[in-house]
Amino acid sequence: MEEQRRNSIQFILDLMKDTRKGDLSYVYKGEFSQNISHQILSLAEKNIDRYGMPSKVKKRVFHIMVESIQNITRHQEAPEDAPEATAIFGIQKRGHWYYVTTGNIIEKTKVPDLEGKLLKVNSLDQDELTQFYREILSDGKISTKGGAGLGLIEMARKSGNKLHYDFRDVNKELAFFYLHSFISTAKDEGATMPSDENKNYISTFNYILDVHKFVNKENILLVYSSVLDQNSLLSLIQILDSQVRGELAFKKKIISNMVELLQNIIHHGVIKKENIDGSQAVFYISAIGNQIHLNTINYIDNTNIPEVEERLKLVNTLNQTELEELYNKKLFDFTADTKGGLGFIEMRIKSKFPIQYDFILDDEKYSFFLLKIVMERK
């Protein structure tokens, strides 16, 4: 149990370290309703905007994301009782490349047909793909589920690269289908990946497999690991709002706590990479029994640890009445406008559980600051 906990923490710390290189990773697992799909795209789009890429590249990445998500919504066949069968979407930026990965459940009987389409698409060069695309369109053989493989052709065309894929067994009848595509941030249309980037391409795919394992193990609904700012917060709120089921009061508590947690990081988080407008952070939500856990990791300046720890210790020792009193006192203390200090108290009042936290030394200047807020349905 202890070892498992340590592995999980190590995994999250690795995610956090990746944000330092200006890389991004964002993984969503769950139902892909129209609103959620829209918000996922918008969140990814805001992130892409930050890197100031040519609009041509942005459009290409966006197009592939849209096709990928449509691919999931078309083939959502997840049985209710198999959470490991829930679809997953991930986008990563590593250096000059974007990687878009989807995973969804598929009936094993459909695997040969799908693999046939993928093999066909991967056997064609760009001109042949365009030709093939036209043929299918004029053939009029598009089923209601878009099964002609137009989406796959489009993804191969827009990315300029072969599609990487894999099937993993879920049970006797079902398999999990992973589709991984990558897009150059270079301006020229459909840059092909040079061979030395190839290991990156394989590693990003393995990475998603690792994330997926982790996500299933911890029953995570969403992992966001990137630069955090007010805009990304607003998209995350929307996603969570559509994703978490339950009564209004509970949902509101979760959203309020999430806003406090993340705004705390936006205001006080340390930025370890230059030229980035926002704080690096990992945020993930897990559903465990009738509890929802909100987790964040960000960097903290080592010299600030004692003060933050003292505040956390204090709110954790107080009972509800004492917490209310402290809240009231701080609420009307207008001298400390910039240092509100209300956040932790409010989270503690809304959660009813102690705030779990940890500081893990990274180097002589900074540490990782881990926070977990637990909330329980009545």
Partner 1 sequence: MEKFILKKTEETPAVILNPGKNVFQIVATSWPENALKFYAPILEWFANYFKAPNNMTVVEFRLDYFNTSSSKQIAKILSLLKEQSEKHAIKIRWFYDPEDTDMKNAGVRYAQMLNFEFEFKERLAY
Cβ 271 to partner 1 shortest distance, Å: 15
Out of 3, 337, 363, 364, the residue judged to bind partner 1 by CB under 8 A: 337
Pick the closer one to partner 1 by CB: 115 or 324.
324
Based on the shown chain and the rule CB under 8 A, indicate whether residue 346 belongs to the binding site for partner 1.
yes
Distance between CA atoms of residues 155 and 271, nearest Å: 35
Pick the closer one to partner 1 by CB: 247 or 307.
247
Based on the shown chain and the rule CB under 8 A, indicate whether residue 377 belongs to the binding site for partner 1.
no
Of the candidates 23, 59, 39, the one whose C-alpha atom is nearest the C-alpha of residue 238 is 39
Cβ 318 to partner 1 shortest distance, Å: 16
Cβ 236 to partner 1 shortest distance, Å: 12
Out of 136, 186, 342, 374, the residue judged to bind partner 1 by CB under 8 A: 342
List residues bridging with 368 in a β-sheet.
Answer: 299, 360
Pick the closer one to partner 1 by CB: 73 or 263.
263
Type and span of the H or E element at 3: helix 2-19
For strands 24-29 and 88-94, give the pairing: antiparallel
Based on the shown chain and the rule CB under 8 A, indicate whether residue 312 belongs to the binding site for partner 1.
no
Chain centroid, CA 143 distance in Å: 32
Rg (CA), the chain: 22
Out of 83, 146, 340, 354, the residue judged to bind partner 1 by CB under 8 A: 340
Longest Cα–Cα distance in the chain: 72
In the structure encoding, which two tokens stand for residue 23, read together? 């890389």
Cβ 238 to partner 1 shortest distance, Å: 8
Out of 334, 335, 363, 364, the residue judged to bind partner 1 by CB under 8 A: 334
For strands 356-361 and 291-301, give the pairing: unpaired
Based on the shown chain and the rule CB under 8 A, indicate whether residue 259 belongs to the binding site for partner 1.
yes
Of the candidates 240, 88, 298, the one whose C-alpha atom is nearest the C-alpha of residue 177 is 88
In the structure encoding, which two tokens stand for residue 81, read together? 């009782």
Binding stretches for partner 1 (CB under 8 A): 230, 234, 247-249, 252-253, 255-256, 259-260, 263, 266-267, 324, 327-328, 331-332, 334, 337-338, 340, 342-343, 346, 350
